[in-house]
Structure 1
Amino acid sequence: MRIVLQVVSRAAVTVADRTVGEIDGPGLLALVGVTHTDTPETAVKLAEKVAGLRILPGETSCADRPAPMLVVSQFTLYGDVRRGRRPSWSHAAPGEVSEPLFEAFVRAVRDRGVTVETGEFGAHMEVSLVNDGPLTVIVDSDELERPRRG
Protein backbone atom coordinates (compact mmCIF):
# COMPACT_ATOMS: atom_id res chain seq x y z
CA MET A 1 0.00 0.00 0.00
CA ARG A 2 1.06 3.52 -0.66
CA ILE A 3 -0.55 6.39 1.22
CA VAL A 4 -0.12 10.09 0.62
CA LEU A 5 -1.04 11.93 3.84
CA GLN A 6 -1.80 15.61 3.94
CA VAL A 7 -2.48 17.60 7.07
CA VAL A 8 -5.61 19.61 6.30
CA SER A 9 -7.75 22.22 7.96
CA ARG A 10 -10.66 20.86 5.89
CA ALA A 11 -11.24 18.46 3.00
CA ALA A 12 -14.14 17.09 1.00
CA VAL A 13 -14.79 14.65 -1.80
CA THR A 14 -17.69 14.91 -4.24
CA VAL A 15 -19.10 12.52 -6.81
CA ALA A 16 -21.41 13.95 -9.48
CA ASP A 17 -21.89 17.21 -7.52
CA ARG A 18 -22.82 15.25 -4.35
CA THR A 19 -20.57 15.49 -1.29
CA VAL A 20 -19.83 11.93 -0.16
CA GLY A 21 -17.21 12.68 2.51
CA GLU A 22 -16.13 15.81 4.34
CA ILE A 23 -14.01 16.70 7.37
CA ASP A 24 -13.17 19.85 9.29
CA GLY A 25 -9.68 19.73 10.75
CA PRO A 26 -7.17 19.79 11.80
CA GLY A 27 -7.15 16.31 10.37
CA LEU A 28 -5.69 14.17 7.63
CA LEU A 29 -6.50 13.49 4.02
CA ALA A 30 -5.25 10.01 3.11
CA LEU A 31 -4.99 9.03 -0.54
CA VAL A 32 -4.63 5.23 -0.55
CA GLY A 33 -3.26 3.04 -3.33
CA VAL A 34 -3.17 -0.76 -3.24
CA THR A 35 -0.74 -3.04 -5.07
CA HIS A 36 -0.81 -6.78 -5.83
CA THR A 37 1.26 -7.92 -2.85
CA ASP A 38 -0.85 -6.17 -0.20
CA THR A 39 -2.74 -8.21 2.39
CA PRO A 40 -5.25 -7.49 5.16
CA GLU A 41 -2.27 -7.47 7.53
CA THR A 42 -0.66 -4.74 5.42
CA ALA A 43 -3.84 -2.67 5.73
CA VAL A 44 -3.90 -3.03 9.53
CA LYS A 45 -0.20 -2.25 9.90
CA LEU A 46 -0.50 0.92 7.83
CA ALA A 47 -3.70 1.96 9.63
CA GLU A 48 -1.82 1.73 12.94
CA LYS A 49 1.04 3.77 11.51
CA VAL A 50 -1.15 6.46 9.94
CA ALA A 51 -3.50 6.85 12.93
CA GLY A 52 -0.52 7.19 15.27
CA LEU A 53 1.68 9.54 13.22
CA ARG A 54 2.36 12.68 15.26
CA ILE A 55 2.12 15.15 12.39
CA LEU A 56 -0.86 17.23 13.47
CA PRO A 57 -0.42 20.58 15.26
CA GLY A 58 1.21 20.14 18.66
CA GLU A 59 2.89 16.93 17.46
CA THR A 60 -0.29 14.94 18.00
CA SER A 61 -1.88 12.17 15.95
CA CYS A 62 -5.43 11.50 14.78
CA ALA A 63 -5.72 8.87 17.51
CA ASP A 64 -4.43 11.30 20.19
CA ARG A 65 -6.69 14.25 19.45
CA PRO A 66 -9.03 12.64 18.17
CA ALA A 67 -8.92 14.25 14.74
CA PRO A 68 -10.88 13.26 11.62
CA MET A 69 -9.51 11.60 8.52
CA LEU A 70 -10.83 11.64 4.96
CA VAL A 71 -9.70 8.45 3.18
CA VAL A 72 -9.86 8.30 -0.62
CA SER A 73 -8.94 5.35 -2.82
CA GLN A 74 -6.41 6.33 -5.50
CA PHE A 75 -4.99 3.58 -7.71
CA THR A 76 -2.93 6.16 -9.61
CA LEU A 77 -0.42 6.23 -6.73
CA TYR A 78 1.03 3.11 -8.39
CA GLY A 79 1.36 4.76 -11.79
CA ASP A 80 4.70 4.01 -13.47
CA VAL A 81 6.04 6.75 -15.75
CA ARG A 82 9.57 5.43 -16.32
CA ARG A 83 8.91 4.46 -19.94
CA GLY A 84 7.09 6.32 -22.66
CA ARG A 85 4.61 9.14 -22.22
CA ARG A 86 1.67 7.19 -20.85
CA PRO A 87 1.64 5.93 -17.28
CA SER A 88 1.39 2.20 -16.74
CA TRP A 89 -1.07 1.09 -14.08
CA SER A 90 0.21 -2.51 -13.92
CA HIS A 91 1.45 -2.12 -10.33
CA ALA A 92 -2.01 -1.09 -9.08
CA ALA A 93 -4.18 -3.96 -7.86
CA PRO A 94 -7.50 -4.41 -9.67
CA GLY A 95 -10.69 -3.28 -7.96
CA GLU A 96 -11.74 -6.74 -6.81
CA VAL A 97 -8.44 -7.00 -4.90
CA SER A 98 -8.01 -3.41 -3.79
CA GLU A 99 -11.54 -2.59 -2.61
CA PRO A 100 -11.58 -5.14 0.27
CA LEU A 101 -8.10 -4.01 1.33
CA PHE A 102 -9.10 -0.36 1.17
CA GLU A 103 -12.13 -1.17 3.35
CA ALA A 104 -9.90 -3.12 5.77
CA PHE A 105 -7.67 -0.04 6.09
CA VAL A 106 -10.69 2.18 6.81
CA ARG A 107 -12.03 -0.26 9.44
CA ALA A 108 -8.63 -0.52 11.12
CA VAL A 109 -8.31 3.28 11.34
CA ARG A 110 -11.82 3.50 12.83
CA ASP A 111 -10.88 0.75 15.31
CA ARG A 112 -8.25 3.17 16.64
CA GLY A 113 -10.95 5.69 17.56
CA VAL A 114 -10.54 7.94 14.53
CA THR A 115 -13.59 9.46 12.82
CA VAL A 116 -13.26 8.48 9.16
CA GLU A 117 -15.07 9.79 6.11
CA THR A 118 -14.44 8.24 2.70
CA GLY A 119 -14.79 8.84 -0.97
CA GLU A 120 -16.68 6.41 -3.22
CA PHE A 121 -14.53 3.52 -4.37
CA GLY A 122 -14.13 3.36 -8.14
CA ALA A 123 -16.01 6.60 -8.80
CA HIS A 124 -14.70 9.70 -10.53
CA MET A 125 -14.17 11.97 -7.54
CA GLU A 126 -13.32 15.61 -7.02
CA VAL A 127 -11.22 16.14 -3.91
CA SER A 128 -10.86 19.59 -2.39
CA LEU A 129 -8.64 20.43 0.53
CA VAL A 130 -6.88 23.15 2.42
CA ASN A 131 -3.41 21.79 3.07
CA ASP A 132 -2.19 23.03 6.45
CA GLY A 133 1.52 23.80 6.61
CA PRO A 134 1.70 22.51 3.97
CA LEU A 135 2.62 19.13 5.41
CA THR A 136 2.54 16.09 3.15
CA VAL A 137 4.17 12.70 3.79
CA ILE A 138 4.20 9.39 1.94
CA VAL A 139 3.79 6.13 3.82
CA ASP A 140 4.70 3.05 1.81
CA SER A 141 4.33 -0.51 3.10
CA ASP A 142 7.64 -1.43 1.39
CA GLU A 143 9.42 1.18 3.50
CA LEU A 144 8.01 -0.25 6.74
CA GLU A 145 9.58 -3.62 5.92
CA ARG A 146 13.11 -2.33 5.23
CA PRO A 147 15.61 -1.85 8.04
CA ARG A 148 16.53 1.79 8.69
CA ARG A 149 20.01 3.03 7.91
CA GLY A 150 22.08 5.14 10.24
Structure 2
Amino acid sequence: MKGTDVTILLDWLVRYGHVLGATLWVGGYAVLAFLIVPRIAQGTGEAFVHLAIATVRMLTYTGTLTMGFGLILITRTNGFSNLFGSTWGSFIIAGSVIAIVLLGIGDGALRPAILSIGKTGDAPARCFALIGFVLAVLAVGVMTGAMFIG
Protein backbone atom coordinates (compact mmCIF):
# COMPACT_ATOMS: atom_id res chain seq x y z
CA MET A 1 0.00 0.00 0.00
CA LYS A 2 1.18 3.47 -0.83
CA GLY A 3 1.26 6.21 1.82
CA THR A 4 -1.85 7.81 0.33
CA ASP A 5 -3.72 4.51 0.45
CA VAL A 6 -2.83 4.10 4.13
CA THR A 7 -4.04 7.63 4.86
CA ILE A 8 -7.33 7.01 3.08
CA LEU A 9 -7.80 3.73 4.94
CA LEU A 10 -6.99 5.36 8.28
CA ASP A 11 -9.38 8.26 7.60
CA TRP A 12 -12.12 5.78 6.71
CA LEU A 13 -11.50 3.66 9.83
CA VAL A 14 -11.64 6.71 12.11
CA ARG A 15 -14.86 7.97 10.49
CA TYR A 16 -16.33 4.46 10.58
CA GLY A 17 -15.53 4.15 14.30
CA HIS A 18 -17.11 7.54 14.95
CA VAL A 19 -20.29 6.72 13.02
CA LEU A 20 -20.55 3.21 14.47
CA GLY A 21 -20.17 4.57 18.01
CA ALA A 22 -22.80 7.23 17.35
CA THR A 23 -25.16 4.59 15.98
CA LEU A 24 -24.78 2.47 19.11
CA TRP A 25 -25.23 5.56 21.27
CA VAL A 26 -28.50 6.59 19.57
CA GLY A 27 -29.73 2.99 19.40
CA GLY A 28 -28.92 2.37 23.05
CA TYR A 29 -30.95 5.37 24.15
CA ALA A 30 -33.81 4.28 21.87
CA VAL A 31 -33.81 0.76 23.35
CA LEU A 32 -33.79 2.18 26.87
CA ALA A 33 -36.51 4.74 26.22
CA PHE A 34 -38.90 2.57 24.25
CA LEU A 35 -38.26 -1.01 25.38
CA ILE A 36 -36.29 -1.56 28.59
CA VAL A 37 -37.51 1.21 30.92
CA PRO A 38 -41.21 0.59 30.10
CA ARG A 39 -40.69 -3.12 30.87
CA ILE A 40 -39.14 -2.28 34.24
CA ALA A 41 -42.17 -0.13 35.01
CA GLN A 42 -44.42 -3.14 34.35
CA GLY A 43 -42.65 -4.95 37.16
CA THR A 44 -41.03 -7.58 34.94
CA GLY A 45 -38.27 -8.27 37.40
CA GLU A 46 -34.75 -7.50 38.43
CA ALA A 47 -33.28 -8.81 35.16
CA PHE A 48 -34.49 -5.74 33.25
CA VAL A 49 -33.01 -3.43 35.88
CA HIS A 50 -29.64 -5.14 35.42
CA LEU A 51 -30.04 -4.94 31.64
CA ALA A 52 -30.85 -1.23 31.88
CA ILE A 53 -27.84 -0.50 34.08
CA ALA A 54 -25.58 -2.50 31.74
CA THR A 55 -26.99 -0.58 28.77
CA VAL A 56 -26.33 2.77 30.47
CA ARG A 57 -22.77 1.65 31.20
CA MET A 58 -22.38 0.62 27.54
CA LEU A 59 -23.65 4.07 26.53
CA THR A 60 -20.96 5.69 28.66
CA TYR A 61 -18.20 3.66 27.01
CA THR A 62 -19.69 4.03 23.53
CA GLY A 63 -20.12 7.77 23.99
CA THR A 64 -16.58 8.19 25.21
CA LEU A 65 -15.26 6.14 22.31
CA THR A 66 -17.37 8.15 19.84
CA MET A 67 -16.00 11.40 21.25
CA GLY A 68 -12.46 10.03 21.05
CA PHE A 69 -12.91 9.17 17.39
CA GLY A 70 -14.41 12.63 16.93
CA LEU A 71 -11.28 14.26 18.34
CA ILE A 72 -9.15 12.23 15.95
CA LEU A 73 -11.48 13.21 13.09
CA ILE A 74 -10.98 16.88 13.91
CA THR A 75 -7.22 16.47 13.56
CA ARG A 76 -7.64 14.59 10.27
CA THR A 77 -10.05 17.11 8.73
CA ASN A 78 -10.14 20.86 9.42
CA GLY A 79 -8.06 20.83 12.63
CA PHE A 80 -8.48 22.38 16.04
CA SER A 81 -7.34 25.78 14.78
CA ASN A 82 -10.59 26.06 12.77
CA LEU A 83 -12.93 25.33 15.68
CA PHE A 84 -13.40 28.98 16.60
CA GLY A 85 -14.58 31.51 14.08
CA SER A 86 -15.95 29.10 11.50
CA THR A 87 -19.37 27.63 10.85
CA TRP A 88 -17.83 24.15 10.80
CA GLY A 89 -16.31 24.77 14.23
CA SER A 90 -19.63 26.01 15.59
CA PHE A 91 -21.27 22.75 14.51
CA ILE A 92 -18.46 20.69 16.06
CA ILE A 93 -18.59 22.62 19.33
CA ALA A 94 -22.40 22.32 19.50
CA GLY A 95 -22.22 18.57 18.85
CA SER A 96 -19.49 18.19 21.47
CA VAL A 97 -21.52 20.04 24.08
CA ILE A 98 -24.52 17.81 23.36
CA ALA A 99 -22.29 14.72 23.64
CA ILE A 100 -20.94 15.82 27.02
CA VAL A 101 -24.48 16.46 28.25
CA LEU A 102 -25.43 12.96 27.04
CA LEU A 103 -22.64 11.43 29.10
CA GLY A 104 -23.88 13.34 32.13
CA ILE A 105 -27.49 12.28 31.59
CA GLY A 106 -26.54 8.62 31.30
CA ASP A 107 -24.52 8.11 34.45
CA GLY A 108 -25.60 11.18 36.40
CA ALA A 109 -29.36 11.06 35.93
CA LEU A 110 -30.62 8.01 34.03
CA ARG A 111 -28.79 5.33 36.01
CA PRO A 112 -29.95 6.69 39.42
CA ALA A 113 -33.50 7.08 38.05
CA ILE A 114 -33.51 3.45 36.89
CA LEU A 115 -32.28 2.26 40.26
CA SER A 116 -35.04 4.18 42.03
CA ILE A 117 -37.98 3.13 39.83
CA GLY A 118 -39.33 1.02 42.70
CA LYS A 119 -39.48 4.10 44.95
CA THR A 120 -40.22 6.99 42.59
CA GLY A 121 -41.95 5.31 39.66
CA ASP A 122 -40.75 5.15 36.10
CA ALA A 123 -41.47 8.74 35.01
CA PRO A 124 -37.97 10.12 35.77
CA ALA A 125 -36.24 7.18 34.05
CA ARG A 126 -38.51 7.44 31.02
CA CYS A 127 -37.94 11.18 30.87
CA PHE A 128 -34.14 10.93 31.03
CA ALA A 129 -34.06 8.08 28.52
CA LEU A 130 -36.25 10.05 26.11
CA ILE A 131 -34.20 13.23 26.58
CA GLY A 132 -31.06 11.19 25.92
CA PHE A 133 -32.56 9.74 22.75
CA VAL A 134 -33.65 13.16 21.45
CA LEU A 135 -30.26 14.70 22.24
CA ALA A 136 -28.43 11.80 20.57
CA VAL A 137 -30.51 12.24 17.41
CA LEU A 138 -29.87 15.99 17.56
CA ALA A 139 -26.11 15.40 17.93
CA VAL A 140 -26.11 13.19 14.84
CA GLY A 141 -27.93 15.92 12.91
CA VAL A 142 -25.49 18.59 14.04
CA MET A 143 -22.45 16.48 13.21
CA THR A 144 -23.91 15.57 9.83
CA GLY A 145 -24.27 19.28 9.17
CA ALA A 146 -20.60 19.78 10.06
CA MET A 147 -19.62 17.26 7.39
CA PHE A 148 -21.27 19.32 4.68
CA ILE A 149 -20.09 22.69 6.00
CA GLY A 150 -16.44 21.70 6.45
TM-score (norm 2): 0.25
Q: Which has the higher helix share?
A: 2
Larger relative contact order, structure 1 or 2 (CA cutoff 8 Å, min sep 6): 1
Q: Which has the higher strand share?
A: 1
